[in-house]
Protein backbone atom coordinates (compact mmCIF):
# COMPACT_ATOMS: atom_id res chain seq x y z
CA UNK A 1 0.00 0.00 0.00
CA UNK A 2 1.78 3.11 -1.27
CA UNK A 3 -0.82 5.59 -0.03
CA UNK A 4 1.30 6.77 2.95
CA UNK A 5 4.24 7.43 0.61
CA UNK A 6 1.97 9.23 -1.84
CA UNK A 7 0.61 11.45 0.92
CA UNK A 8 4.16 12.36 1.88
CA UNK A 9 4.88 13.25 -1.75
CA UNK A 10 2.04 15.81 -1.74
CA UNK A 11 3.16 17.40 1.50
CA UNK A 12 1.05 15.49 4.03
CA UNK A 13 2.84 13.77 6.90
CA UNK A 14 0.93 10.55 7.65
CA UNK A 15 1.06 8.75 10.96
CA UNK A 16 0.49 4.99 10.82
CA UNK A 17 -2.01 4.17 13.57
CA UNK A 18 -0.97 1.38 15.90
CA UNK A 19 -3.37 -0.82 17.84
CA UNK A 20 -2.66 1.34 20.89
CA UNK A 21 -3.46 4.50 18.91
CA UNK A 22 -6.77 3.04 17.75
CA UNK A 23 -7.70 2.04 21.28
CA UNK A 24 -6.44 5.03 23.27
CA UNK A 25 -5.08 7.98 21.26
CA UNK A 26 -6.93 11.26 20.81
CA UNK A 27 -8.08 10.70 17.24
CA UNK A 28 -9.36 14.26 16.99
CA UNK A 29 -5.77 15.39 16.41
CA UNK A 30 -5.95 13.90 12.88
CA UNK A 31 -7.43 15.84 9.96
CA UNK A 32 -8.33 12.58 8.22
CA UNK A 33 -8.01 8.85 8.79
CA UNK A 34 -7.47 6.56 5.79
CA UNK A 35 -8.29 2.87 6.16
CA UNK A 36 -5.95 0.85 3.94
CA UNK A 37 -7.00 -1.68 1.32
CA UNK A 38 -8.27 -4.94 2.84
CA UNK A 39 -7.36 -3.58 6.29
CA UNK A 40 -10.48 -4.98 7.93
CA UNK A 41 -9.30 -8.46 6.89
CA UNK A 42 -5.82 -7.96 8.30
CA UNK A 43 -6.41 -5.87 11.42
CA UNK A 44 -9.06 -7.02 13.90
CA UNK A 45 -8.17 -3.98 16.01
CA UNK A 46 -9.95 -1.85 13.40
CA UNK A 47 -13.27 -3.55 14.02
CA UNK A 48 -12.68 -3.32 17.76
CA UNK A 49 -12.21 0.44 17.32
CA UNK A 50 -15.44 0.90 15.33
CA UNK A 51 -17.17 3.11 17.90
CA UNK A 52 -14.09 5.29 18.38
CA UNK A 53 -13.76 5.76 14.62
CA UNK A 54 -17.45 6.61 14.26
CA UNK A 55 -17.16 9.07 17.14
CA UNK A 56 -14.18 10.61 15.36
CA UNK A 57 -16.34 11.24 12.28
CA UNK A 58 -19.34 12.41 14.32
CA UNK A 59 -17.12 15.00 15.99
CA UNK A 60 -15.90 16.41 12.69
CA UNK A 61 -13.31 13.98 11.32
CA UNK A 62 -12.94 12.69 7.77
CA UNK A 63 -12.70 8.91 7.36
CA UNK A 64 -11.81 7.33 4.01
CA UNK A 65 -12.26 3.57 3.70
CA UNK A 66 -10.45 2.12 0.70
CA UNK A 67 -11.71 -1.09 -0.88
CA UNK A 68 -12.27 -4.01 1.45
CA UNK A 69 -12.59 -7.73 0.76
CA UNK A 70 -14.94 -8.45 3.68
CA UNK A 71 -18.01 -6.71 5.07
CA UNK A 72 -16.93 -3.80 7.24
CA UNK A 73 -18.48 -1.36 9.73
CA UNK A 74 -19.92 1.91 8.46
CA UNK A 75 -22.05 4.67 9.96
CA UNK A 76 -25.11 3.47 8.04
CA UNK A 77 -25.95 0.25 6.21
CA UNK A 78 -23.74 -0.85 3.29
CA UNK A 79 -23.26 -4.26 1.68
CA UNK A 80 -20.58 -5.59 -0.62
CA UNK A 81 -22.69 -8.43 -1.95
CA UNK A 82 -21.74 -12.09 -2.21
CA UNK A 83 -19.41 -11.53 -5.18
CA UNK A 84 -18.41 -7.85 -5.09
CA UNK A 85 -18.30 -6.21 -8.48
CA UNK A 86 -15.07 -5.23 -10.22
CA UNK A 87 -14.53 -2.86 -13.13
CA UNK A 88 -11.44 -4.14 -14.90
CA UNK A 89 -11.41 -1.97 -18.04
CA UNK A 90 -9.02 0.80 -17.09
CA UNK A 91 -10.45 2.88 -19.96
CA UNK A 92 -14.07 2.57 -18.79
CA UNK A 93 -15.68 6.00 -18.76
CA UNK A 94 -16.19 7.43 -15.27
CA UNK A 95 -19.15 9.77 -14.84
CA UNK A 96 -19.20 12.28 -11.98
CA UNK A 97 -22.81 12.20 -10.78
CA UNK A 98 -22.60 15.65 -9.16
CA UNK A 99 -19.56 17.53 -10.53
CA UNK A 100 -20.30 20.46 -8.22
CA UNK A 101 -20.05 18.49 -4.99
CA UNK A 102 -17.29 19.88 -2.72
CA UNK A 103 -15.07 16.78 -2.92
CA UNK A 104 -14.80 17.34 -6.68
CA UNK A 105 -14.17 21.08 -6.51
CA UNK A 106 -11.57 21.66 -3.77
CA UNK A 107 -8.64 21.88 -3.52
CA UNK A 108 -8.49 20.34 -7.01
CA UNK A 109 -11.19 20.59 -9.66
CA UNK A 110 -11.87 16.93 -10.48
CA UNK A 111 -13.32 15.93 -13.87
CA UNK A 112 -13.67 12.66 -15.76
CA UNK A 113 -10.27 13.46 -17.28
CA UNK A 114 -8.67 12.69 -13.91
CA UNK A 115 -9.43 9.04 -14.65
CA UNK A 116 -7.40 9.11 -17.87
CA UNK A 117 -4.16 7.14 -17.94
CA UNK A 118 -5.17 4.69 -15.20
CA UNK A 119 -3.52 1.28 -15.28
CA UNK A 120 -4.81 -2.28 -14.89
CA UNK A 121 -8.33 -1.57 -13.58
CA UNK A 122 -10.80 0.98 -12.33
CA UNK A 123 -11.38 -0.80 -9.05
CA UNK A 124 -12.98 -3.66 -7.19
CA UNK A 125 -15.27 -4.41 -4.25
CA UNK A 126 -17.81 -1.91 -5.50
CA UNK A 127 -20.64 -1.67 -3.01
CA UNK A 128 -23.82 -3.55 -3.87
CA UNK A 129 -26.27 -1.63 -1.68
CA UNK A 130 -26.21 1.35 0.65
CA UNK A 131 -28.82 3.18 2.68
CA UNK A 132 -30.34 6.53 1.77
CA UNK A 133 -27.93 8.44 4.01
CA UNK A 134 -25.17 7.90 1.43
CA UNK A 135 -24.64 9.80 -1.78
CA UNK A 136 -23.03 7.95 -4.70
CA UNK A 137 -20.58 10.28 -6.42
CA UNK A 138 -19.56 8.37 -9.57
CA UNK A 139 -20.72 5.75 -12.06
CA UNK A 140 -18.57 3.36 -14.11
CA UNK A 141 -19.00 -0.05 -15.70
CA UNK A 142 -17.32 -2.59 -17.92
CA UNK A 143 -18.93 -3.34 -21.31
CA UNK A 144 -22.15 -5.27 -20.68
CA UNK A 145 -22.01 -4.68 -16.92
CA UNK A 146 -24.71 -2.91 -14.94
CA UNK A 147 -23.78 0.66 -13.95
CA UNK A 148 -21.66 0.64 -10.81
CA UNK A 149 -22.40 3.57 -8.52
CA UNK A 150 -20.87 2.03 -5.39
CA UNK A 151 -17.28 2.95 -6.20
CA UNK A 152 -17.21 6.25 -4.35
CA UNK A 153 -19.89 7.10 -1.83
CA UNK A 154 -20.12 9.78 0.83
CA UNK A 155 -22.10 10.16 4.03
CA UNK A 156 -22.26 13.11 6.34
CA UNK A 157 -22.30 11.75 9.87
CA UNK A 158 -22.57 14.23 12.70
CA UNK A 159 -20.08 17.00 11.94
CA UNK A 160 -17.82 14.84 9.77
CA UNK A 161 -17.69 12.92 6.51
CA UNK A 162 -17.28 9.21 5.79
CA UNK A 163 -16.19 7.94 2.36
CA UNK A 164 -15.89 4.51 0.77
CA UNK A 165 -13.69 4.26 -2.33
CA UNK A 166 -13.47 1.11 -4.45
CA UNK A 167 -11.37 2.83 -7.11
CA UNK A 168 -7.83 1.45 -7.27
CA UNK A 169 -6.13 4.75 -6.43
CA UNK A 170 -3.47 2.80 -4.53
CA UNK A 171 -2.50 1.08 -7.79
CA UNK A 172 -2.23 4.36 -9.69
CA UNK A 173 0.01 6.19 -7.24
CA UNK A 174 3.21 4.20 -7.95
CA UNK A 175 2.54 4.85 -11.66
CA UNK A 176 2.38 8.61 -10.97
CA UNK A 177 -1.13 8.99 -12.40
CA UNK A 178 -1.92 12.66 -11.68
CA UNK A 179 -5.69 12.25 -11.32
CA UNK A 180 -5.29 9.64 -8.59
CA UNK A 181 -3.14 12.03 -6.54
CA UNK A 182 -5.62 14.85 -7.11
CA UNK A 183 -8.62 12.74 -6.07
CA UNK A 184 -6.84 11.39 -2.98
CA UNK A 185 -5.86 14.92 -1.95
CA UNK A 186 -9.46 16.10 -2.21
CA UNK A 187 -10.77 13.19 -0.18
CA UNK A 188 -8.35 13.62 2.71
CA UNK A 189 -8.86 17.41 2.64
CA UNK A 190 -12.66 17.19 2.72
CA UNK A 191 -12.87 18.36 6.34
CA UNK A 192 -10.86 21.47 5.51
CA UNK A 193 -13.14 22.65 2.70
CA UNK A 194 -13.83 26.38 3.21
CA UNK A 195 -17.60 25.75 3.01
CA UNK A 196 -17.40 23.34 5.96
CA UNK A 197 -16.23 26.01 8.40
pLDDT tens digit string along 105-137?
A: 999 999 999 999 999 999 999 999 999 999 999
Helix (H) or strand (E) holding 187: helix 178-188
- How many CB atoms are located within 10 Å of the residue 53 CB? 22
pLDDT tens digit string along 139-188?
A: 999 999 999 999 999 999 999 999 999 999 999 999 999 999 999 999 99
In sequence order, what are the residues at sequence separation of 6 or more whose Cβ sits closer than 8 angstroms to the Cβ of residue 44?
A: none
Amino acid sequence: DDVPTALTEIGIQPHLLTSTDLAQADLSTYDAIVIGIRAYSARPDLTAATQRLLDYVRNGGTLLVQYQSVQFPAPYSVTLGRNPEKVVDEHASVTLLDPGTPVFTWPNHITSADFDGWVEERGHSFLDTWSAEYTPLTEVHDPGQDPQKGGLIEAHYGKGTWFYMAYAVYRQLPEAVPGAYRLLANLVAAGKHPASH
